[in-house]
Amino acid sequence: MSHVLPNTLILASLVFIASAQAAPRDEIASTLADQQSVAVTIYNDNLALIKDTRRVFNQGKIVVVN
């Protein structure tokens, strides 16, 4: 029981450090000019699937991070 508080503090510190090191990336805004196609599929019970295909990234190597 005496190890719970120190372990919790260490874990919280690691989570805080990991989130602080994640540098914000430049946001890429998508406009209507980026749109290549749109498809709509309508299902029963008022359900629909919309597929919107856009070209947003430039040519070359892209690294996507969560």
Give per-residue pLDDT as tens, 5-60: 777 777 777 776 665 555 556 777 888 998 999 999 999 988 999 999 998 877 88
- The predicted pLDDT at position 48 comes to 95
Q: Rounded distance, CA 52 to CA 36, Å? A: 8
**Total of domains in the chain:** 1
Instruction: Report pTM.
Output: 0.44
Residue 42 domain-assigned?
Answer: yes
| pLDDT of 2 higher than 70 | no
Residue 63 domain-assigned?
Answer: no
With tokens 């946001």, the residue in question is: 27
Residue 59 domain-assigned?
Answer: no
- Residue 33's domain spans which residues? 4-54
Residue 64 domain-assigned?
Answer: no
Residue 39 domain-assigned?
Answer: yes
| pLDDT of 66 higher than 90 | no
Residue 35 domain-assigned?
Answer: yes
Residue 60 domain-assigned?
Answer: no
Q: Which helix (H) or strand (E) holds 4?
A: helix 4-21
Q: Rounded distance, CA 63 to CA 65, Å? A: 6
